[in-house]
Structure 1
């Protein structure tokens, strides 16, 4: 067990809080004004961690903080450290995350989906029935349906696939379920990359908060590309479309996937390593 004096851990906690404040400031300003954003709100609505939780710093399992009364009031802490009992109680979660991330890391990145998951979520819907009805479809309903019907739909991520419209589900090559994620997820998937943030914050406070923030930054960058490639016209928000229905757009999307897979690989490896440390407790 490593011990940290307050003079050593307090600057790390302050630096983490300042980093997160800078990352979430636009969201907090919009929330205070009651302004919705179809791209960035996702990181705080679909994912359940609140900005204040992301801001709080934890050193992770194996470090005892001296003079840390605030931490001792948090779930899972006693005497300045995450307790053995808390780690033991979280073992099923740690095993599940370890199994999924290890399986994902073992596969090559597949780069041929071209973001069709967002298109399949609006397939054959009326303009008022889409998830972001305040923003029009860039090609209109008929043009959007044509794009879906002219592509091979290969979504491997259950949490994207489950939002497909009923007629779109039958077009998908795979049938992922909540119970077989480890059999399908692969590192080229944008949603698998964004979900590194979900896995990281679910392991809080057992892992270092710097790793959680690293995963959040990756998720933020992926989400922008995810919605640039979506069928919505978001140019009024300064979000330039990535026209995946064209050869040029497909090439740009695949290049972005490759880049995110490369950025996500070391984060996934760090999460796997953290899980293995926790499973050894």
Structure 2
């Protein structure tokens, strides 16, 4: 997470040289004001040292502790998490060719929509990847837009998630 990073070279060390859309002070103020609400195990593990000290809606204060995927991921993740919805495609594709290609295709559609919102809401100027669309989560209007779109994605992903779980059960049983 790009919150008080150890290096001032945030573009090249985090996102391949993309310039920031907002400066680090805006990022810090946004996090300081609202805390963190991320529940995805991989994102939590990537927080900077200072980011790990910020109260998190899922963890309290993470304290940079090691998380166990088998224990913590089912406990922490929720259906609105964009990164959990990206993972639907990862897990669907791992079962190829044992599951229906329609599940894989639907999981890909959800993942693409989730990634587009994730990139649009990032602190980087990533408009080249989103057609110029930006979700300015550092302001109230942007947070409302993010939440609305996140809930839309959650609605679409729930049915895909249920189908994927059933497919896993069918393969394993």
C-alpha distance in structure 2 between counterparts of 1:252 and 1:242, whole Å:
7
Q: Secondary structure at the match of 1:150?
A: helix
Indicate if the aligned counterparts of 1:137 and 1:144 stay in contact, CA closer than 8 A.
no
Indicate if the aligned counterparts of 1:156 and 1:185 stay in contact, CA closer than 8 A.
yes
C-alpha distance in structure 2 between counterparts of 1:167 and 1:177, whole Å:
21
How big is the shift at 1:236? 4.5
How big is the shift at 1:210? 2.3
C-alpha distance in structure 1 between counterparts of 2:80 and 2:160, whole Å:
14
> Match for residue 51 of structure 1?
none
How big is the shift at 1:256? 0.7
How big is the shift at 1:178? 2.1
Deviation string 1:213-268 (CA, Å, 9 cap, x unpaired) is: 21111101110100111101123553321011111111111111110011001101
How big is the shift at 1:275? 1.8
Kindly name which structure, 1 or 2, has the bigger radius of gyration based on alpha carbons: 1
Q: Secondary structure at the match of 1:134?
A: coil
> Match for residue 161 of structure 1?
44
> Match for residue 3 of structure 2?
123
Of the candidates 140, 143, 160, which is equivalent to residue 250 of structure 1? 143
How big is the shift at 1:128? 4.4
- Alpha carbons of structure 1 residues 177 and 150: separation in structure 2 relative to 1, 3 Å: farther
Please state if 1:222 is matched with 2:114: yes
> Match for residue 186 of structure 1?
78
Which residues of structure 2 form unaligned runs of 5+? none
Q: Give TM-score scaled by structure 1 length.
A: 0.53
Q: Secondary structure at the match of 1:131?
A: helix
Which residues of structure 1 form unaligned runs of 5+? 1-120
Q: Give TM-score scaled by structure 2 length.
A: 0.84
How big is the shift at 1:163? 1.3
Of the candidates 134, 139, 159, which is equivalent to residue 241 of structure 1? 134
Of the candidates 17, 22, 33, which is equivalent to residue 134 of structure 1? 17
> Match for residue 211 of structure 1?
103
How large is the Cα RMSD of the aligned pairs?
1.7
- Alpha carbons of structure 1 residues 273 and 128: separation in structure 2 relative to 1, 3 Å: closer
C-alpha distance in structure 2 between counterparts of 1:262 and 1:256, whole Å:
10
Deviation string 1:49-100 (CA, Å, 9 cap, x unpaired) is: xxxxxxxxxxxxxxxxxxxxxxxxxxxxxxxxxxxxxxxxxxxxxxxxxxxx
Which segment is superposed worse, 151-160 or 255-264?
Answer: 151-160
